[in-house]
Structure 1
Amino acid sequence: MLLALPAAAQEPPETPEAPEPPAAVEPPEAPEPPEPPEAPPAPEKASLEELLQEEVTSASVGSFGYRLRRYGITPYVHGVITADLWQWERRHGNVPHHNTFELRDANLYFGADILDLIVPEVFLEFEPTFSSFEFNTGLRLRYAQLDLRLHKELLVLRAGLFLIPFGTYNTTTLPAFISKLPERPTLFREVIPSPWQELGVQLTGTWEWAPGRAFTYALFATNGMEQFDLNNPLNPNDDGPDEGGSIAFFTPSYVDIRNTSKSFGARLSAQLAEGLTLGASGYTGAYTRDGGRRLNIFGFDANFIRGPLSLELEAAFAHQEITGGALEKWGYSAIGAYRFHTQAEAVLAVDEAEVGELPPPFDGQSFSVSGRSYWGGLLYFPFPNQIPTALTKAIYRVTVPDGAQPAQHVFILQLAVGF
């Protein structure tokens, strides 16, 4: 037994079993971040009264326009610039020929489409010519109108200063990037004033009863327009209101003070076939300062577009009352164009106007002489796909006045861009 002890002592001691490592403890879940506070709801579309009553500190950014932007009203700005790259007119006798550059006009359109319900728009024109009413700047407010869709496009109420819906030139083809000619025919000066704007209310709309078939109407009442009245201190007989003057120089009556009679008019047009539109227009109203003389204008227009061919015809007759009678003025304009290439279009046109002269002792005189004009030339579209509203016009015009006056020859190279 004692002998066995050393042997037992030599045996290695039993190794105790290692304890199992403790199970891994999962880290505690991180607390979820608190939800951000809900943003305050966007302000509802406020009425104009609520908007004006909103407090604005003197240190805030912007003013009324900035506040309107906050209420979801996004405006648009467009414009048209027209410049004569070269204008030449043949003179007679020893007078040198006329050569000049000219900025025809620069137009800006400001507006917005508010929730497809209200469309306000303002048209400003800078026209640096001697005929500008504002002689110092040549800046004119052509229209400032509000359109309210009462029932989609079927019934629209228009209020403010707007272009009179008479014919197609005054309301459709007036912008230089649409018009085929570089300047207005005489018809649109002495018989149909253009641009022709008056202040009042209008109901208009379009009804499309089939694809490519539509009926358009416009009814309006305005303050009318007046002939400028200027008594001649050197003429003792000039003591009454001026009458029988050039329609081109009539100005809209912004507020009826002396003559409170209203002017009325209407236009009806129908697209009867593919590309064919026929229209008729009428207007009546007093034009003298005292309201004693009336001006009545009636017009007809036809437009046809089929492929590269386009035809425009417009005619009008004006009955202008004067003491003891009336002046009868009439005219027409016919324009044909053919787009023979994506970048080029040939244009031919003829227009004629009979405006007459007011015999003594009346003061009025027609701005243009009676006669017929012939036009011919080319339109060039440098970027027909990228910028279809940019074009160059190269047009030659020959005007043959009535009587023994010599013919007038004018060549215009013009660049027009709508943007």
Structure 2
Amino acid sequence: MSCGVPAIAVGSKSYVGLVQPGTWQQAVYSNFGGVGNCQKDYSSSKVHQDMGKLLTSESYRARLGVFGVQIVQNFFDAQQVHEQLLSIYRLAIQSHSLNKGHDKEFDVIGADSLKSDNKKAEMMLDNQIEQLETKLLQASKDNADRFTRDLVIVQNRLYAQLESLSWLQRRLAIKGQLPPLRGWAASPDVLLRLHTHIMATRPRVVVEFGSGASTLVIADALRQNGSGRLISMEHSDYYGAQTLETLEAEQLQGWVGLRIGDLETWEGEHLNPEGAEKPSRWYAQSLFDDIEQVDLLWVDGPPGATCLFSRYPALPALADKLSPHAEVWLDDTIRQEEKDICERWAKDYGFTVEYYALEKGLGRLTRPGKSDVDSVDSSSGAPSRLEEDAESLFDFGGNDHEVG
């Protein structure tokens, strides 16, 4: 990682996968797979998926390489380690030189002179050893202090996610358990904010790009509200089937229109430069032709490896389908690409953007002058409820791609 090479963390106790913004905390905390559930976390499909991401995109590898260097610089001082090793090598060379023995054919004067030189060299060596010991002790103390600080940061972040997960579980009315919320999945803190916002603002139409745990959370909030409809776009048959199975287990499929279709070439405006390694792709336009008056647009797909600025088309594709007070939420804004997307959206479509310092970052775009009706106490998870009459469910027309 210190050389700018992407890393897949595989330890004796767990499989972390690609070390990237969504997994680096787990990697550091688990000692890059040295702590965990032994072989239970291993899966050949995970290895295949991670290797596929690395091999299909040179720019993606480059970005992960830069990120890895940043992790090493923040958590491990490579320069100090190199200097310490070089000092030890130098001392070993000098010591070896002193202990080699001397030419038997030297005269007395030469011997006396050599003894004097050896004495000086020994004194110099002792002094260097003492200085090295002092440096090693100080470096050890500095590294211990830095490790302690970094460990506290990681522990605080993990605690924040556990706290958010606890409040989220209290709010949800599901009977089963949530899907795993690590790796590529949305984090507990953003899901808690999403659930709280929906119950406070009572949107009639919610659209999400990228199904998963967020689909379950949004559907639960709509059911508790007694009104609203979620249209979920998914490009993967595999993940779409998982999402549908989860919804059916909780009897939430009636609140969701899950639309599955392959990504297609995107010909509209895009931040992905012409001639890029990967062409621009987006969900099929036919999946959302019948959607109108979207109150909340939640963007967490497609994967970042699809192409550069892969999520940019979300707003251009639905800009004319938003309600006057619609909000747009973009996950993963700890990545610069997502921040660039938010800034461009705000500039081109008249939104105000605000960033939330969540685990993976959240960009929230609102219309200027829109009142913030869902002020949330993140420690309690209690929203200020918006008093509105219940709205009837929107009944969208049949769609060959929709299930649920």
Whether the TM-score (by the shorter chain) exceeds 0.5 is no
Which of structures 1 and 2 has the bigger CA Rg?
1
Considering fraction of residues, name the structure with more helix. Answer: 2
TM-score norm. by structure 1 comes to 0.26
TM-score norm. by structure 2 comes to 0.26
Considering fraction of residues, name the structure with more strand. Answer: 1
Relative contact order (C-alpha < 8 Å, sep 6+): which is higher? 2
